[in-house]
Structure 1
Amino acid sequence: MSIEAELKARVGDPQTVRAGLASRADVTQAVYHDTYYDRAGDGFMSGGRELRLRTIETQDSVRHLLTFKAPAVDEASGSKPEFETEVADPEAVAAILEGLGYRPALTFSKRCENFEFEHDGHPMLATLVTVPEIEGTFLEVETVVEQEDGLSAALDAVRGVLHELGINDDDLTTELYTDAVKRSRGA
């Protein structure tokens, strides 16, 4: 089981953070188009689970991913077990999900600047994120661990990256983009 060890923060000075990340790695610009699926009446999403079909567009490629996230194993960070696979035919996957009783619950896009590097022996993905419906810029820093007993050390490494970029613990947030987008749309 893979666990996404991730922390997310609101960024007050995106230019400084961007420069700090650019000193570590080249940037890949991407637009993520996400559709989250839910089942009516059974509390699937409200139970902390996520089922998402994502299209990632970069200058060089278009990829599709199906992701399932189980409820958080660490409430302070919101880190969740994650299962993800690349999808060749997103329309077929959408039809399969709907045939199984899932319905699109929320669709939105986000603009991402991705930076991949290593820190304290962990491969890191740092992403500056803007979502049109949400005010501000966010920074997500994540790595993946295979066992829950490695989560604490991985989160310490993630926190180290954030601190080096001038992000402190007061800037951290566990609010989900899905919740913020729903609130902005009045849903």
Structure 2
Amino acid sequence: MIEAELKARVRTPEGVLRRLDERAPGRAEVYRDTYYDTPDRALDARDQELRVRTVHGTDETRAVLTYKGARVDEESGSKPEHETRVEDAEAVHALLRGLGYVPLIAFEKRCRNYAFEARGRRMLATLVRVPEIDGTFLELETLAPESELSGALDDVRAVLTELGIAADDLTGELYTDAVRARRAD
């Protein structure tokens, strides 16, 4: 499956938050993401990602191991995604390091997630603040087979418009790149 996702800078967070609250209950979570690569950055060179995410919510803490393949849509950055919940994040970190992977970058995302149905698709909207980056972001995604990617992205764009996001608010900027740039300053 392809994660058909678009990300936007949010100009009016209060308005978007209100519109999301009208659609579904939100849940506050803090993500702690660590991205891994080989010492020669072979994954990055192939536009692939390997991530361990620990999610701290109000009721539970869970961990997820994610592999993302190379982009299948340059404009949106949509990628095939495979992920699985893991029992012990520290064991997965140790396993990856033992296999020769090195942490490339780690950072925190403060999120408010909304799961809802729109245009016949399950969607996940996430309002994001990364403490090291200025601004608020909105990620909106749905999973789709590659053959349906174009239609799924059209549906995501339509829902973003309903949420008050304009086409010129969309961004392809990666959090990893923005955090790296901020730390280099």
Tell me the TM-score range normalised by the shorter chain. over 0.9
Structure ranking higher in helix proportion: 2
Shift of 1:42: 4.3
**1:77 corresponds to:** 76
Q: CA deviation at 1:43?
A: 2.7
CA–CA distance in 2 between the matches of 1:42 and 1:162? 34
Match in the other structure for 2:12: 13
Look up the match of 1:179. 177
Once the two structures are TM-superposed, the CA of residue 47 in structure 1 deviates from its matched residue by 2.5
| CA positional deviation for 1:180 | 0.4
What is the rounded CA distance, in whole Å, between the counterparts of 1:71 and 1:19 in structure 2?
A: 34
* Distance in 2 between residues matched to 1:50 and 1:88, nearest whole Å: 21
1:56 aligns with 55
TM-score by length of 2: 0.98
Q: Which amino acid aligns with 2:170?
A: L
Q: Secondary structure at the match of 2:59?
A: coil
SS state of the match for residue 75, structure 1? coil
Separation in 2, partners of 1:89, 1:115: 26
Match of 2:97?
98
Matching residue's letter, 2:181: R
1:61-140 alignment, distance < 5 Å? 61-140=60-139
2:8 is the alignment partner of 1:36 = no
| Equivalence for 2:152 | 154
Query: How far off its partner does 1:38 sit?
Result: 1.0
The two structures, once aligned, show a CA RMSD in angstroms of 1.0
Over the matched positions of the two proteins, sequence identity in percent amounts to: 57
Q: Secondary structure at the match of 2:137?
A: strand
Q: Structure 2: where are the runs of 5+ without partners? A: none
- Displacement, 1:46? 3.4
Distance 1:46 1:179, change over 3 A: farther
For 2:15 and 2:155, the matched residues in 1 are separated by 20
- The CA distance in 2 between the partners of 1:45 and 1:90, in whole Å, is 22
Q: Deviations over 1:85-114 (max 9, x none)?
A: 000011111111111110111010010000
